[in-house]
Amino acid sequence: MTRTRSSNQRDAQTRADKKNQTRQALLDTTRSLVGERSFGSISLREVARGAGIVPTAFYRHFASMEDLGVTVVEDSMRVLRRALREGRRDLAARQAMPTAKNSLDILLRHVRENESQFRFLIREQHGGIAEIRRAIDTELRLFAKELTIDLARIPDLAPWQPEDLEIAAELIVTIMLTAVADLLDGEYRGRGAEKEIVERTERQLVMVFLGMGQWRPSE
């Protein structure tokens, strides 16, 4: 009896592992395809073939292509959250507002390491599939709210109202995303163009940080 139960548990674990591997293969295939193409141009059959399964088996892992797309959004946003966590550690260590150079260095490193995921987010932010647009918008709002919490922990910003901190966080996120979009745009390729984009973005962030330092919340 004990041997049978143990064997059943191993079989169940093997099936679960295989299912997780197939699900990951579907996600990896999708990420590779959206590096240069819109999500809407990718077919279920194409994704299933890349993962080594028949199309009907796709539905054991995702309810629809839209469900798959939303999952890719959530996974891609974890990259941004990781960048945010690094910035958060820097804030905690210095107990001050971040420098523009520090913020950009962190972001650019993650863009270079995960270019296809950032391409996907930038392209689909205003793409044709509503579920994916909403998922990106929701994740960006959460991203800005996390940054708002980080800003609220800075002693110099203690007098600020939550809504003012949120506006500042949204400005920083918008500037960062615009920089990413410009860097990934084909017409901006080249070392000189990248340097120009980075310098412009750094000036924009400096203006925001300087403005935050001078801002006096109304009573």
pLDDT of the chain along its 219 residues, tens only? 555 665 556 655 677 888 899 999 999 999 889 877 899 999 999 999 999 999 999 999 999 999 999 999 988 887 767 766 665 555 555 545 556 677 777 778 878 888 888 888 888 988 879 999 999 999 888 888 888 888 888 888 888 888 999 999 899 889 988 888 888 875 556 667 888 888 898 888 888 888 887 887 665
pLDDT at position 133 is 93
pLDDT at position 40 is 92
Give CA 123 to chain center in angstroms: 13
pLDDT at position 157 is 83
Task: Look at residues 201, 176, 204, 202 and name the one whose alpha carbon lies nearest to residue 83.
Answer: 176
pLDDT at position 115 is 83
Task: Look at residues 184, 172, 181, 179 and name the one whose alpha carbon lies nearest to residue 198.
Answer: 179
Residues 6+ apart with CB under 8 A from 102: 87, 90
pLDDT at position 6 is 58
pLDDT at position 211 is 85
pLDDT at position 96 is 52
